[in-house]
Amino acid sequence: MSESLTPTLDNLPDPDEMYRLRRGTPLLKGTTRLEARKADEKAEDKAYAAFVAVIWKLDKGCCRHCERTVIKSLKRVPNRGEVHHVYGRRGRLLFEIRAALLVCADCHDQCTGTIGKIRLFIVGKTKFKLHLKEGWRTFVNVRKPVEFTKAKAA
């Protein structure tokens, strides 16, 4: 064997040169299901944060029921602002601005209701239609003036 072909630290090929000499191109793998799901969750979190910011802006940082100024806080305090989804957060209603309003934590507890306690119901004259899986449904547009009525929860 000749000395020039014997591998030593001095005559090792450059990694960039070896890459260029290699036959074919590397196979690039696509994203895994986990990576795709995490990316979707991140995108939905960003969209939901933008949705919440719009509701806060539209309601000017005040509770729609008691009209007190609310704060952004992670602590469970009475004047913490919370976005109330009047018809729940499923499907297309999650990001529907006409079906969400800003309320304080106290009023939100009354809106969501506890069995056997007084509950706030939201009543409005302006309606909108939305096509869901079960077909067309009519909802109260809470972006327009609404009234809160109290009734005993079942």
Place of tokens 């909802």: 139
> Can you give the pLDDT at residue 28?
73
From residue 119, alpha-carbon distances to 28, 67, 84, 142, 153 in Å are 57, 18, 14, 17, 6
| pLDDT of 133 | 86
| Mean pLDDT of all residues in 116-145 | 89
Q: What is the mean pLDDT of the segment spanning 66-92?
A: 91
Rounded to the nearest integer, the mean pLDDT of the chain is 85
Who's near 116: CB < 8 A, 6+ residues apart?
Answer: 152, 153
Return the domain boundaries, the chain.
33-152
pLDDT range class, residue 29, cuts 50, 70, 90? confident
pLDDT of residue 77: 92
How far is Cα 61 from Cα 55, in angstroms, rounded to an integer?
9
What is the reported pTM?
0.73
In 3D space, the residue among 84, 48, 49 whose CA is nearest the CA of residue 64 turns out to be 84
Q: Please report the pLDDT score of residue 41 as a whole number.
A: 94
The 8-class DSSP code of residue 65 comes to: T
DSSP designation for 87? T
Dist. CA 96–CA 87, nearest whole Å: 10
pLDDT at 5: 63
Residue 119 DSSP class: E
Give the percent of the chain with pLDDT over 90.
53
Residue 37: its pLDDT value, please? 95
In the three-class reduction of DSSP (H, G, I as helix; E, B as strand; rest coil), residue 148 is classed as strand
* Mean pLDDT within 121-132: 90
User: Among candidates 55, 68, 57, which has minimal Cα distance to 99?
Assistant: 55
Q: 61: alpha, beta or left, given left = phi > 0 and alpha = psi -120 to 50?
A: left
pLDDT in tens, 88-125: 888 888 999 999 999 999 999 888 876 667 788 889 89
